[in-house]
């Protein structure tokens, strides 16, 4: 049998705990999205950037604190 360990996800690592790092990452994705929609006009990449932006807003803006509370210093809480 395999033992399943609850490891913290990449986006809930303590490195992302300071809000300015999350805001900078979202701003970079917004800039990429603006570039794709207004300059590149490549439909596939436009929708990929929209999806990445939606995921980043959900992961870093809305759900980050809730997910981070599940893990303390990389160890899952019991």
Q: pTM for the full model?
A: 0.71
Whether 55 is in a domain gets the answer yes
Find out whether 29 and 53 touch, Cβ atoms under 8 Å: yes
Whether 32 is in a domain gets the answer yes
- Per the structure, how many domains does the chain have? 1
CA distances for 8 relative to 51, 53, 78, angstroms: 22, 21, 13
Of 62, 67, 70, the C-alpha closest to 26 is 62
Whether 36 is in a domain gets the answer yes
Find out whether 39 and 16 touch, Cβ atoms under 8 Å: no
Whether 30 is in a domain gets the answer yes
- Write out the residue range of the structural domain in which residue 30 sits: 25-62
Whether 44 is in a domain gets the answer yes
Question: What does the pLDDT look like over 23-76, one tens digit per residue?
Answer: 999 999 999 999 999 999 899 999 999 999 999 998 888 877 777 666 655 555
Whether 5 is in a domain gets the answer no
Whether 37 is in a domain gets the answer yes
Question: What does the pLDDT look like over 3-21, one tens digit per residue?
Answer: 455 665 666 677 888 889 9
């Amino acid at each position: 049998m395999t033992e399943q360990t609850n490891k913290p996800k990449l986006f809930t690592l303590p490195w992302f705990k300071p809000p300015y790092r999350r805001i900078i990452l979202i701003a970079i994705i917004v800039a990429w999205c603006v570039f794709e929609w207004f300059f590149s006009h490549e439909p596939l990449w436009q929708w990929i950037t929209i999806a990445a932006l939606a995921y980043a807003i959900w992961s870093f803006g809305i759900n980050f604190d809730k997910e981070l509370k599940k893990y303390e210093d990389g160890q899952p809480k019991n």
